[in-house]
Amino acid sequence: MGYPLLGKNFKDQFRLEKIIIAAVSKNGVIGNEGKIPWDCKAELQHFKKTTSGFPIIMGRKTWEAIATPLKNRVNIIISRSLKSSKKKNDYLIFSSLKKSLAYCESNNHKKCFIIGGTQIYKTALPLADVLIISEMKFEVEGDAKFPEFKKAEWKMLSSEELSEFTIHTYIRKENLQEC
Ligand SMILES: NC(=O)c1ccc[n+]([C@@H]2O[C@H](COP(=O)([O-])OP(=O)(O)OC[C@H]3O[C@@H](n4cnc5c(N)ncnc54)[C@H](OP(=O)(O)O)[C@@H]3O)[C@@H](O)[C@H]2O)c1
């Protein structure tokens, strides 16, 4: 991905990059009754293209909504109620986000994507390096929202406008190299 200034020092360039990716309506909604309350092929294509080849980390409820592992990605589920498992080929279960990140690091992944829902986004926000937010161009009713985040801590690196949504990419300011 083309955001060049990640890492204050040489060592940081080799650590796991933690990227939150979400699609959010104009009024902050990300879900309703366990599902995403819109149907937008272009947004799904963007999600697939961006996350393919990397681990994706999700909460148990999001896992239940997608129902089957997403292809070409290590699917990681965070749950206290499901039994932890590292043995399954197509998905892994961890009892905490931190354990899942440690797994990604120990397997030398350069990036991982945190794909929701609300609870996992909340836990991941203080740890995330990058936010990729598809801002949908409409409002919708829903019971799951993207958590509030301090915009002052983030620098918007790019905005790509498509017909139904705009993709905003933010990077944590403290990760920007001082020029
Ligand atoms: N628009 C988007 O981009 C997008 C993306 C993803 C999801 N969504 C939507 O978001 C909604 C689901 O969000 P949600 O917040 O209800 O559920 P969620 O975050 O997907 O899953 C919540 C579950 O994850 C586990 N969990 C959460 N925090 C944990 C922690 N710190 N340690 C261990 N386990 C933890 C718990 O599982 P256990 O109960 O098993 O312990 C918890 O019940 C759905 O409507 C979905 O469609 C939208």
Q: DSSP letters along 64-96, please?
A: HHH-SPPTTS-EEEE-SSSPPBS--SSEEEESS
pLDDT in tens, 77-92: 999 999 877 666 679 9
Q: Which of 66, 70, 85, 119 to mutate to test the pocket of ligand 1 (most atoms within 8 A of CB)?
A: 119
What is residue 33's predicted lDDT score, i.e. its pLDDT? Answer: 97
**Nearby residues of 142 by Cβ (< 8 Å), 6 or more positions away:** 25, 29, 30, 31, 32, 37
pLDDT-wise least confident of 7-16, 75-84, 89-98: 7-16
CA of 96 to the centre of ligand 1 (A): 12
Paired strand residues for 35:
32
Domain boundaries, the chain: 11-175
pLDDT at 2 over 50: no
Instruction: Quote the percentage of the chain above a pLDDT of 90.
Output: 83
Averaged over 133-142, what is the pLDDT? 98
pLDDT in tens, 108-129: 999 999 999 999 999 999 999 9
Q: Which of 21, 35, 58, 78 to mutate to test the pocket of ligand 1 (most atoms within 8 A of CB)?
A: 78
* CATH tag, 11-175: 3.40.430.10
CA of 145 to the centre of ligand 1 (A): 11
What is residue 178's predicted lDDT score, i.e. its pLDDT? Answer: 52
What is residue 85's predicted lDDT score, i.e. its pLDDT? Answer: 75
CA of 114 to the centre of ligand 1 (A): 11
CA of 56 to the centre of ligand 1 (A): 13
Instruction: Quote the percentage of the chain above a pLDDT of 70.
Output: 88
Q: Parallel, antiparallel, or unpaired: how do β-strands 165-172 and 130-136 relate?
A: antiparallel
pLDDT in tens, 34-76: 999 999 999 999 999 999 999 999 999 999 999 899 999 999 9
- Ligand 1: atom nearest CA of 58 is 20
- Ligand 1: atom nearest CA of 80 is 41
What is residue 90's predicted lDDT score, i.e. its pLDDT? Answer: 78
